[in-house]
Amino acid sequence: MEIVYWIGAFVNGLFATGTALHALLNKHEPTAAFGWIAVCLLFPILGPLLYFLLGINRIHMRARALRAEPKPRHNGAAKLERSNRVPPEFSQQARISLAVTGLPLMPDNRVETLHNGESAYPAMLDAIEHAQRTVFLSTYIFESNRTGRKFADTLARAVARGVDVRVLLDGAGEWYSLPRIRSILHRCGVRVAVFLPPRLLPPRLLLNLRNHRKILAVDGDTAFIGGMNIGDRHLIHRYDGRRGITDMHFRIEGPVARQIESVFLSDWLFTTGDSRLPEHPPPAAAGNAFCRTIIDGPHESLNRLAMVLVGAIAAARHRIAIMTPYFLPPRELISALQAAAIRGIRVDIVLPEQNNLPFMHWATRNMLWQLIDWGVHVYYRPPPFSHTKLFVVDSHYAQIGSANLDPRSLYLNFELVAEVYDPGVGGGLAYHVDQVRLGSREVTLRELDERPFPARVRDAFCWLFTPHL
């Protein structure tokens, strides 16, 4: 028995030391590393087991295994950047984004703002109806209601004309609507692929690693991106009489549409193994906007979108305007916004007063004081629920796309954002934020401090789960 005891002690010591060493080498924060080392060494068997189950970041490991990570092309891209006639007022942010993404800034684009499904869906359907070569559609939610069936019918007509039509659905998002749109598209002859569908054997029930991108790329010269999924929910006046949600989508014409298309093709290759590329003529100039895509996801070694956001906040000279449905920014973004307000930059953040995910609203309320206390202005927009995602700096730089300012978008899901350098677009979006802000109410420290004790406990409890929301 004594030998068994010493063998058990040796094995436990080996596991405890090994897990503690793993935490020491792989945790990025000293407090997290120290905490897990203490748990592994002080609690025999249980400590190493808890670390194995909860302490290892399998999200990043799985994502790196799933997707090949693109390498920034700093030198070549820098030469191309200089040849793109970047105006001086854009140069600082352009250098930051180039260093982080490695992608060139594309000139001669046109960006059109589309408010709500009433404006976005007709424009998207018209682009599909007039497509001549390719229609590539990727979305998180594709409902099978009236709006979804309109898209299915229009895609089917494009297939009948001989257009190369491909639809990529997310494996979790496609379950938001029954019957699933996949079967309807199959019957219409549309090629459909599903990104990481859940399965039992072998088990894959991932709530993270979702493809949250919204892309419609047509003929290599037109693209639609933004926050809208496809379904009746994005109509203000729904067919069933229920109140919809407000949102913004964007039509982009010009060379950057080819960058957006390449993101879809990369996702399609990963999902299907199909590496065939379309043949397009060179993209024509369509407008005056400089644009670049920012590809973000858990497979990246750097949190690229967060780094670009911090850089843009640091480069701001007059104004920062943010509109997002889900706002749980990481510490580096909070610090950057605080520093901007201290520098005298006007920082406005517009959030929905009533959220479709109450626990997100509660968790956000627990941290808003950190910004308001330093001079950041936070507003609650009255219903209906706003799903709009905007980030505008100095009325000439904007980010548009699928990403929210929360851990799920910044770290756990695959997202696509386009940055737009154009005073016309930036000024129009800043004006939109101002108009919404005038109809909203500002959140005060007094309001947060006077929350009832049960509400404060509830908000703080939800905030504890911030890394997973």
Beta strands at 222-226 and 164-170: parallel, antiparallel or unpaired = unpaired
Peptide bond into 179 cis (omega under 30): yes
Residue 207 is predicted with a pLDDT of: 66
Question: Which of 263, 215, 210 shows the shortest CA–CA distance to 402?
Answer: 215
Task: State the pLDDT at residue 421.
Answer: 96
In 3D space, the residue among 256, 262, 225, 224 whose CA is nearest the CA of residue 106 turns out to be 256
**CB neighbour list of residue 242: distance below 8 Å, 6 or more residues apart:** none
Helix extents (H) in 67-162: 74-83, 91-101, 116-129, 146-160
Residue 415 pairs with which residues in a beta bridge?
Answer: 296
The domains of the chain, with CATH numbers, are 2-56 (no CATH), 108-287 (3.30.870.10), 304-468 (3.30.870.10)
pLDDT, residue 357, reads 92
pLDDT at 72: 43
Report the alpha-carbon distance of residue 102 to residue 245 in Å, rounded. Answer: 35
- The per-residue pLDDT for 198 is 79
Task: Using 70 as the pLDDT threshold, list the residues of the chain that sit under it.
Answer: 1-2, 4-13, 15-16, 20, 22-36, 40, 50-86, 200-207, 299-302, 467-469
pTM of the model: 0.87
CA dihedral 125, 129, 133, 136 (to 10 degrees): 20
Cα Rg of the chain (Å, integer): 24
Query: Nearest Cα to 383, choosing from 240, 196, 188, 244?
Result: 244
- For residue 1, the model assigns a pLDDT of 57
| pLDDT recorded at residue 203 | 60
| Amino acid 312: pLDDT | 94
Strands 346-352 and 390-393: unpaired
Q: List all residues 6 or more positions away from 319 whose beta carbon is below 8 Å from its beta carbon.
A: 345, 346, 347, 348, 392, 393, 394, 395, 430
Q: Output the six-digit token pair for 7.
A: 């063998």
Q: Which two tokens stand for residue 236?
A: 């203000």
Query: For strand 346-352 and strand 106-115, is the pairing parallel, antiparallel, or unpaired?
Result: unpaired
- Tokens encoding 342: 């201290």
For residue 90, the 8-state DSSP code is G
